[in-house]
Amino acid sequence: MPATPPVALVTGAARRLGAAIARRLHAAGYDVALHCHASRAQADALAAELEAARAGSTRVLQADLAQFDRLPELVAKTIGRFGRLDALVNNAAAFFPTSFGSVTPAQFDALFAANVRAPFFLSQAAAPHLKAARGAILNLSDVYARQPRADLSAYATSKGALEAMTRALAVALAPEVRVNAIAPGAILWPEAGGDAVQQARILAHTALARTGTPEEIAETALWLLRDAAYTTGAVIAVDGGRSPL
């Protein structure tokens, strides 16, 4: 480890995949800036857990990523706390069904604000610091970017745009900064509940015949951010061998 630990900013870090990624990076020696929006209590609890393992290694940053001015502010506060930035994890996302034919502009804009605009402008704000550290960006996409469902038309479109952005930024920021994405399959079912029949269909189309774990996503995240020195512009499917429904 260097004398000054590497630093990662993880959006949507309070819960679910974001928390798993933050824990894995922290265990690997990173200091972490934990972004949250509505989940401040969970973010504070995660920070306390990580601080118990290594004091002075976290900062919680609360912001609505739909507010443009908060994006460069997140980067500035991370630099102000830790003095460097080695990794940006664009994990925070919006997800809700949108059946084509009834999608509203407000729904479309909400999905693109969270899933495309915020990652793009966070990456732009972070780029000078990541270049100085020869760091990396990781975007969290989704299997639905390439295998859309009819009821997720706008969501799938937004994640497809995120994958295009991954490739574009890999070119724009080369050679100093690597930019990659993970496209998870069935890892965590939606918190609002789900259709048990649909879930069974998904697993029937998954070669490994099980859901993945957040920790399996987090291990891939660490590899892409720290170890995959000759990988950029890639979208890595961590989906258990998912085939189209």
pLDDT at position 2:
53
pLDDT score recorded for residue 193: 65
Q: What are the phi and psi torsion angles at 137 (to 5°)? A: -115, 140
In order of start, what are the domains of the chain with their CATH numbers?
7-238 (3.40.50.720)
What is the spatial distance between Cα 237 and Cα 91, in angstroms, rounded to a whole number? Answer: 15
In the prediction, which pLDDT does 36 show? Answer: 98
pLDDT at residue 133, rounded to an integer = 98
| pLDDT mean by block of 10 residues, the chain; 245 residues | 86 98 98 98 98 98 97 98 98 93 96 98 98 98 94 96 98 98 93 81 94 97 98 97 86
Catalytic center residues: 155
Q: What is the pLDDT of residue 241?
A: 96
Q: Among 15, 13, 153, 34, which Cα is nearest to 95's?
A: 153
Phi/psi zone of residue 29: left (φ > 0), alpha (ψ -120 to 50 degrees), beta? left
